[in-house]
Structure 1
Amino acid sequence: MTDVTDVTDVTESVETEAGTARVIWHRARTARLVLALGHGAGGGVEARDLQALARVLPAHGVSVALVEQPWRVAGKKVAPAPKTLDLGWCGVWPVLERPGRPVIAGGRSAGARVACRTATALGALAVLALSFPLHPPGRPERSRADELLGAGVPTLVVQGGNDPFGRPEEFPPGPYGMVEVPRGDHGFAVPKRADITQERALGTITDAVVAWAASLG
Structure 2
Amino acid sequence: MNLARGTAVGRRAFDAAEKAVAASGGVLAVDVRDLGKNYGEYDYLDGRMSLHRALFAPGREGELAGTLVHELLHVAQHAAGLPSYALELEIEAHLQDLELMAELGLTPPPHTFARQALDALTKGPAAFVELISAAVPGSPCLGTDSLDDVIDQLEQDLEAARAGRSRRSAKLARAIEADLLSLRTKEGAAAYRGFSRRVRALLERRSSEAGG
TM-score (norm: length of structure 2): 0.30
Q: Which has the larger radius of gyration?
A: 2
The structure carrying a bigger helix percent of its residues is 2
More strand by share: 1
Higher relative CO (CA 8 A, sep ≥ 6), structure 1 or 2? 2
Question: TM (normalized to structure 1)?
Answer: 0.30
